[in-house]
Each structure stands twice: as structure tokens, then as C-alpha cells.
Amino acid sequence: MKRFGKLWLLLAAFALPVGLAQLMLSMQWYQGGVTNRGQLLDPPLSAPGVAQAGRWQLLYVLPDDCDVACAGALFHLRQIPQAVGAERDRVASLLLVNGSAGQDNELLRGLKAATVPASLLKRLQATEYGAQAIYLVDPLGNILMAYPLESAQPAILAQGKDVLRDLKRLLKVSKIG
């Protein structure tokens, strides 16, 4: 009887971790391999008209009314390329505006603005986040990631850290740009 008890204990020592791992995976308690903070777009949007050779870009579509979330996004567009440090020549910000909307706005100072192509605006609005996100564009013109806008001050600051963290990682491993 003692031998069977040891055998069951030995079997439990090997079967219990496998059972617990299966339970964790089936209950979705574990997110393996996720290191990015932004939301990956699957499939990425192609936007060759906004691509800058050799530069990663932060892209934002300026709404008609700029609220707290919009002001936070504009803050990130100005600060994140500077916060990258030595790699700042590989990063740019691009603000897309509808016609003349916001051209005289004080919040836009220091940002490169361009008129948003209607086809790109339509494709962005078809995504889950629409124009309410900061998008990350690779040097080839692919919009890869979205960072949905936040409206609370602590969340806005945390979002900036998330974008910076993802961007630094991409710059480190990227062979383009």
C-alpha cells in the first residue's frame, strides 16, 4: 500500500503542474508573449502618402473640437520624439487636419500638420478606434499600432510612457528607419 501512495504522489507531482497550466490557459489568466502596450492593427493599414523615408511617425487626426484627450495627444506628439533621445532623428510626428480646421490653434505650435487624405481618414474611421487614437506608422507607410486616447490626466501621462516604451523597443530592433 505504501508503494501505491508513493506512486500516486509521484504522478500528482507531474500531472498537477500540467493541469494547472491548462486551467490558466483555458481561463485566459495568462497573456504570454505580449510586450507591446498599444493595440496592434491586424491587418496594418497602408498609408504610403504619409510615410517619411527612414522615420517612424506618430500620427493623429485633429478633431473639430479639441478636448482634454486631444490636448493630451498633441502633448505626446510634441514630447515623445524628444524623449526618444539619441534616436530622435528616426522619429517624427504628423498631425492630420481636415482642411483649415485648427490651423490657428495655439495647441498646434511646433507640430507638422498636413491635410488628411479622404481615403486615409475613411480607413482610419473604419478601425475600432477611429480618429480617437494616436497611431504608429513605420517608415514604409504601414500603420501598425493604435493608442486609444485617454481623458484622465494620470492615464494621459501613463499613455505617453507606453507609447515611448513601444517606440524605443521598435527603434532598437528595427532594421528600417
Question: pLDDT tens-digit profile of 73-120?
Answer: 999 999 999 999 999 999 999 998 876 555 556 767 888 888 888 888
Alpha carbon distances (Å) from 164 to 34, 58, 87, 92: 16, 10, 12, 13
Confidence class for position 145, pLDDT limits 50, 70, 90: very high
What is the biggest distance separating any 2 CA atoms in the chain, rounded to whole angstroms? Answer: 87
How far is residue 17's CA from residue 77's CA, in Å, rounded to a whole number?
Answer: 46
For residue 10, pLDDT beyond 90: no
Confidence class for position 138, pLDDT limits 50, 70, 90: very high
- Asked if the bond preceding 154 is cis, omega within 30° of 0, the reply is no
How far is residue 167's CA from residue 112's CA, in Å, rounded to a whole number?
Answer: 19
Residue 22 makes CB contacts below 8 A (sequence gap 6+) with none
CA atoms within 13 A on the CB side of 8: 5
pLDDT of residue 148: 95
Running DSSP on this structure, what letter comes out for residue 50?
A: G
How far is residue 138's CA from residue 50's CA, in Å, rounded to a whole number?
Answer: 10
